[in-house]
Amino acid sequence: MTRILVVGATGLVGRHVIAKALADSRITRIVAPTRRPLAAHAKLDNPLVDFDRLPAEADWWDVDGVICALGTTRAEAGSDQAFRVVDYNYPLEVARLARKHGASRFALNSSVGANARSKLLYPRTKGEVEEALKAMGFQSLTVVRPGLIGGDRDEFRLGERIATAVLGILGPVLPRSYRISPADRIADALIEAAVTGAPGVHLIGSAELAAD
């Protein structure tokens, strides 16, 4: 039986992770630290936190696996620095504290094109997080790199809506790696990695997540 920590629980992928994890009989406890409360559930521990001041010694860090679905965009964050705080600082601080308390498996929702040597902010940051996590010593690390994520977001993103419509039409004739990655498939991959991830570093690319 498995205890998992989920960060980014209020986002598109995170919401799917929580719903699926609550229904998964292998998972006995879900810890989902958030800024605002989630719907109550007997299996869910939902500490309200400030991600800039995470409680380092809280007992809820004692989990088996971690799922990180934290993420924003430069436009939403408002600056390069604010984007880096959410997409780099927060995931690594969560990983550090979870590892300190004994977590052995970590599953990261990253992005297609992640590259620590990219000149572009978004893929470079994603790649840098991946590299930093590899150095933390998790028994099992799984990096999930979806393409354009399919699903209904709370916030409106015009560019993403347009791209989703175009890829939805062209999807059947595109290579799998260029198709939409449905949020529920990403959630499935993250949960499986957090619950049963084999030793070592594993990469799940967009082709494996693509809509049929």
Reply yes or no on whether 43 is catalytic: no
Burial letters 130-139, b for 16+ CB under 10 A, else e: beebeeeebe
Question: What would the two tokens of residue 185 be?
Answer: 């498939």
Q: Which entry of 43, 88, 122, 178 is annotated as an active-site residue? A: 122
Cα angle: 63, vertex 55, 68; to 5 degrees: 50
Residue 126 annotated among the catalytic residues of the structure: yes
HSE of 94, CA atoms in CB hemisphere, 13 A: 31
- Helices 121-134 and 90-100 meet at what angle, rounded to 10? 10
CA separation for the pair 156, 53 (Å, rounded):
29
Catalytic residues: 122, 126
